[in-house]
Each structure stands twice: as structure tokens, then as C-alpha cells.
Structure 1
Amino acid sequence: MNLLSKLRIQLGADCLTKRIPRLGQVTEAVAVQMGHAKTLLPLLTLLGFFKDELPLNASNYALQQDRAFRGSRFMPYAANLLFVLYDCPEGLRLQAQLNEKPLYFPNIQHRAPLYHTVKQAYQQLLLGCSFKQECELPSHI
């Protein structure tokens, strides 16, 4: 896996874990991270949004006119991705929104699933990678 892919994994893990309050202690009303469409598109892909069952290639192009992954439709110039955390009686719930429209997490049938459910679904991603290990210069330099 190349370095850029590993850093995307770290960004995905950060988005789903870093801002979640510990033991119900909310310390921030909102946490904002800024990026660009070139950051959001790989993150959405990493999280499995807009994934088509059949990969697009030259031999099936005509069949793919209604494919889910059409970046020009879901990733305009001023795109935004929100993760909204709700404190509900049954536990914390997480809702993803793209351009102020709710998204369903892949393979989860609730618009705002329990955070625990989302965390389980992305368990491999949440292991992340070590930014320090990947990006730190060797000590002998």
C-alpha cells in the first residue's frame, strides 16, 4: 500500500474516532476539519460510499450509465462532508451527510446508526496506520 493510501486511512480513522467524546463528556460543540474535494473523494471511497457492485471498465461502460460513483454529481467544487453525533437514550448515534444530505453508511440500514455499529463496521480502518512510523525521517539523517 502506498503512502497516500495509508494517510487516507489515517484521515478516515481520525474522522470516526478523534472527536467522539469519552464517557459522555462533551467538550466541544463542533469540530471542523477543512479539506478539498481531492481529500473528500478518497475519504468517501475509503469509507465505501458510492461503491458500485460492478467495477467500471471499457467492456461494460454502456451498462454503467446509472452507476453510483459519479464524482461530478456528488463532489461539486464546494462539497462538504459532515459527521453528526447525536446523544440518544439508546446511545451515541452517528450520521454522515454529504452536501447537507444524509448518507447511509454502506451495509448499515439506519440513517443515523449507533456509533458502536459504525465503529464495528470500520474496525479494520480504525486500526489506521502510524503517521509517525510512515512519515518520520530516520534518525541517522
Structure 2
Amino acid sequence: MEYALDLKQFWKRAYGYEINSKSSCILFHDMFTDSVCSSSGQKVTEAVTIQVGHAETLLPLLALLGFFKDSEPLTSINYASQTQRSFRTSRMLPYAANFILVLYDCGGGDIRLQPLVNEQPVAFPGVTDRQESMPLYGDVRRHYEELLKGCDFETVCELFKNPAEV
């Protein structure tokens, strides 16, 4: 039963199709606004920013950031090889799931960013390894540089206009 739900969410809201996570682009940009913290070490101007949503909002955002992505996509025929998968919606999105980004000013312009999923530290995929869950803020911005260039919904929607091409 768990795999059936994971399979559905994988293809409907996560890694199954690239367009699934594109809906979270604006939310992604809200997390990295220069009013929160600039890569030059500008002081934090807000103590906390809270945005509330549902699992249907959180899952595409986690996928856009690359969290819980396995090397193989989930399919109806690879259940046996997916027993150790990271993509488990029952763990990622329990009731009252949350995603938190914590900024740490370590002095001397050394600003770090720690992601937490359901209050548990996780590593930014492709930025840090499992040992280091608090990379430099600038390193995170560089990793997501392409996403930070903007949300071009016109181009994205044009790419997926013809369902036969998907």
C-alpha cells in the first residue's frame, strides 16, 4: 500500500515529470530573496518568515530542490529493487509535515543554511554530503543558480502543451 501511494505521488507531484516541480518555482524564490540574506553577508532583516501549505505544495518544492531523489524512478515493475528508496511519502509528508530553512550567522560573513524536513536535518542534494548539513549560503545559491534566474512559466507551459510529446 505504501509503494502504491509513493508511485502515485512520484508521478503526479514529484520526479515523474519535470513539470511537476516547476509549480514551486515562485515559492523557491521566496526562500532565497535578498531581503532575507544576500550572498554578500547582508544582515538578516526578518526574524522569521512562515508560509503554510499542504502536502501537495510541499512535495513539488522538495522535488524542485532535489530532496529524496533516488537513482532509479519508481515504476510499477521495480517494487522489489525499491525497498531501500529515499522517496517515501509516509516519512516525507506525515500529517503536519514541514520544511524549515535556518540561517546561521557564524560571524565574519560566514552565513550557513541548514534545511530540516520534519525537524530532522537533511543535506542539500549536490551541495553537501550527509556529514555536513549546514553549507555556506553562497554555496547553496550557486548550486541553485539556474533556478534563481527566474520562473519562466510561459516557456514551461509551451513545452508541455502537447501531451503526446511528454
Please report the TM-score for the alignment, with normalisation by the length of structure 2: 0.70
Alignment-derived partner of residue 128 in structure 1: 150
Letter in 2 for 1:51: K
Whether the aligned pair in 1 keeps the contact of 2:24 and 2:64 (CA below 8 Å) is: yes
Measured in 2, the distance between the counterparts of 1:35 and 1:50 equals: 19
1:71 aligns with 2:89: yes
Alignment-derived partner of residue 116 in structure 1: 138
Question: Counterparts in 2 of 1:31-110, with a 5 A limit?
Answer: 31-89=49-107, 91-107=110-126, 108-109=128-129, 110=132
Identity across matched positions, percent: 50
- Identify the range of structure 1 (63-72 vs 52-61) with the bigger mean alpha-carbon deviation: 52-61
Measured in 1, the distance between the counterparts of 2:107 and 2:43 equals: 15
How far residue 119 of structure 1 moved from its aligned partner, in angstroms, is 0.5
3-state SS of paired residue (2:32) = helix
Residue 19 and residue 85 in structure 1: after superposition, are their counterparts in 2 closer, same or farther (change >3 A)?
farther
Residue 5 and residue 97 in structure 1: after superposition, are their counterparts in 2 closer, same or farther (change >3 A)?
closer
Whether the aligned pair in 1 keeps the contact of 2:55 and 2:93 (CA below 8 Å) is: yes
Measured in 2, the distance between the counterparts of 1:102 and 1:64 equals: 23
How far residue 5 of structure 1 moved from its aligned partner, in angstroms, is 4.7
1:29 aligns with 2:47: yes
- Identify the range of structure 1 (22-31 vs 74-83) with the bigger mean alpha-carbon deviation: 22-31
Residues 59-84 of structure 1: CA deviation (Å, up to 9, x unaligned) = 32111012100111121120111000
Measured in 2, the distance between the counterparts of 1:21 and 1:102 equals: 20
Whether the aligned pair in 2 keeps the contact of 1:7 and 1:129 (CA below 8 Å) is: no
Quick one: higher RCO (CA 8 Å, sep 6+), 1 or 2? Answer: 1
Unaligned runs of 5+ in 1: 135-141
2:27 to 11, 16, 27: 11
Please report the TM-score for the alignment, with normalisation by the length of structure 1: 0.82
- Paired residues, number: 133
Residue 105 and residue 44 in structure 1: after superposition, are their counterparts in 2 closer, same or farther (change >3 A)?
same
Measured in 2, the distance between the counterparts of 1:57 and 1:27 equals: 45
